[in-house]
């Protein structure tokens, strides 16, 4: 193969010396999914060798959108903001959810993704679990959750978020924008 596409660079530090630690067929054999570890910073991430995302997510409103592990990651990161949860644990959770929904085939319901995230968070951090659970019933979508938490962090809420407790509103302020 020629030069590496930029997607194989470490999303954490940008290094291109990454090591493949697992490969398997994905998306009904239409792509190869590779689990990689960064030689520089140890960050673990996943690449799909083929390019176009084939897994579609059916939102609650019926719309279909391509699955994005980055959006999923952002949603989970919002839930664990300021909690003692290692980034690697979040990456692993996103990875597990991605594997599960990919195996299930396209399209996957956003509710199913939310349910899997919730299941993973339950074992990871009780506060993050409760945070996610509190909005899951309203949004049922990790991506929407990330947006919601980010909105709370910007302090732009007025009345619309009165379903959330004071604690959750306070915790929402911790959402990081350090990308």
CB of residue 86 to Zn ion, shortest distance in Å: 15
Tokens 């084939």 sit at which residue? 54
Q: Is residue 91 close enough to count as binding Zn ion by CB under 5 A?
A: no
Stretch that binds Zn ion, among 9-17, 61-69, 129-137, 141-149 (CB under 5 A): 9-17
Do 15 and 21 contact (CB within 8 A), yes or no?
no
Q: Is residue 43 close enough to count as binding Zn ion by CB under 5 A?
A: yes
CB of residue 16 to Zn ion, shortest distance in Å: 9
Site for Zn ion in 59-78 (CB under 5 A): none
Q: Is residue 39 close enough to count as binding Zn ion by CB under 5 A?
A: no
Helices (H), the chain: 69-79, 87-104, 110-124, 126-139, 142-153, 166-172
Q: How many CB atoms lie within 10 A of CB 70?
A: 11
Q: Is residue 28 close enough to count as binding Zn ion by CB under 5 A?
A: no
What is the helix (H) or strand (E) element at residue 31, kind and residue range? strand 31-38
Q: Which residues contact Zn ion by CB under 5 A?
A: 10, 12-13, 15, 38, 40-41, 43
């Amino acid at each position: 193969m020629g030069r590496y596409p930029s997607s194989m660079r470490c999303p954490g530090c940008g290094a291109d010396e990454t090591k493949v630690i697992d490969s398997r067929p994905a998306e009904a054999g239409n792509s190869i999914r590779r689990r990689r570890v960064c030689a520089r910073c140890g960050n673990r991430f996943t690449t799909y060798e083929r390019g176009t995302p084939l897994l579609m997510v059916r939102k609650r409103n019926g719309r279909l959108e391509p699955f994005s592990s980055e959006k999923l990651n952002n949603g989970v990161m919002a839930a664990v903001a300021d909690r003692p949860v290692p980034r690697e644990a979040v990456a692993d959770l996103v990875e597990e959810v991605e594997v599960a929904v990919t195996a299930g085939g396209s399209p996957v319901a956003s509710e199913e993704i939310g349910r899997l995230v919730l299941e993973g968070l339950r074992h990871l951090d009780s506060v993050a679990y409760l945070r996610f659970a509190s909005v899951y019933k309203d949004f049922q979508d990790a991506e929407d959750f990330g947006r919601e938490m980010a909105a709370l962090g910007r302090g732009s809420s007025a009345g619309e978020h009165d379903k959330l407790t004071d604690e959750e509103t306070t915790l929402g302020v911790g959402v990081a924008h350090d990308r």
